[in-house]
Structure 1
Amino acid sequence: MSKFAWSERAKNAEEARRAVNASPRAPELLKRFSNAIDAAYPPGFWEHYDRLKNGDARGVEMAIEFLEADPWFFRSGYIKANLARFLKHVRLSNHQVRRLEKVLLKIVDERNTQEFRNYCRLACIIATPALIEALKERLTDESLPRRLRATWMLSTIEQTRMSQKSCRLSENY
């Protein structure tokens, strides 16, 4: 799957979406849009998606590749949010964790999207010293949005850790 043309396919899907928005009653444009959305995902994508959704780690590589490519087209944000949520429930290799650290830092560096909350929750599971250090470094960045996103992600990690400690303490009583 690594040779899939993510950005080109996402661009085609977005162009088709804009054409439909400009002429919503044109059946040929609706068909073009539907085909472009289908083509924006590589063959086998949905099978891997369903595997991961059901806790099957065989879907992990596809999910990470999708998050790394970060294609942007109609409803891709919802898919990214779901993948981030599903990844929290499977065992990840050290290599996969490092790849996801890069995904998380890229999102912190570049933009706040609707799926950002899910990325923060995934960061709680990843939460390696390297990730935490990289997020702390961004707290002094000149970009206010980047500082805010780093703060939100670190805060989510810290809140989760505090909550887990609290749960462990209450189990002792």
Structure 2
Amino acid sequence: MRKLTSLLVLACLLAACSPDPDPGPPPATTPAATASSTTPSAAASNPSTDPMYLEAVEVYKAYFAEVDKAEMSGFEPESVADAIDPYLAEPLKGLVESAYQGDRELGFRPKAESGAKITSMAPNPGIAREGSITSLRVCVDASHVTMVDKASGQDVGTGRKTYNEVYFKREKAQLKAFIQDSEVVNRCPM
């Protein structure tokens, strides 16, 4: 039961769902989670035209589309690891795969006809984590998505709106997201 609860919590954090219709305010962010330093791509005079930012946007959109496609199929693929490998590095890759496996194991499927949507993206100039070379701010709206248990047909969670800070690094010359800090929000702060 403990493993089941842990997987559900991790899955809901990554998929922006919540089994409680009104969980209250999001938890406070710790100082360690917000430690920052200047990134090399922050030097661009207009961060939204920085080639590394534009590359990060494409990487994030591709990763997001792969996970959304797998989730909307009712978690039919046994794994998303191969599909997300070109876009994510550890530890984020393992967390996304673990959340996917948890939802799949629990027999969840989306009730909605469309998945979560990226509502806005922006550069996050001057902010770095653990050697990242660029970062994005991303708002995602999954508030119209309800997850149901395949076996019982019961609703198990409802999507949320999230604000995410996503950090990227090069892995074998390929830009990949490797850290994502997420916060449940009522409205996108950007």
- Shorter-normalised TM-score: what interval? under 0.3
Structure 2 length as normaliser, TM-score? 0.24
Structure with more helix by fraction? 1
Q: Does 1 or 2 have the higher relative contact order (CA < 8 Å, sep 6+)?
A: 2
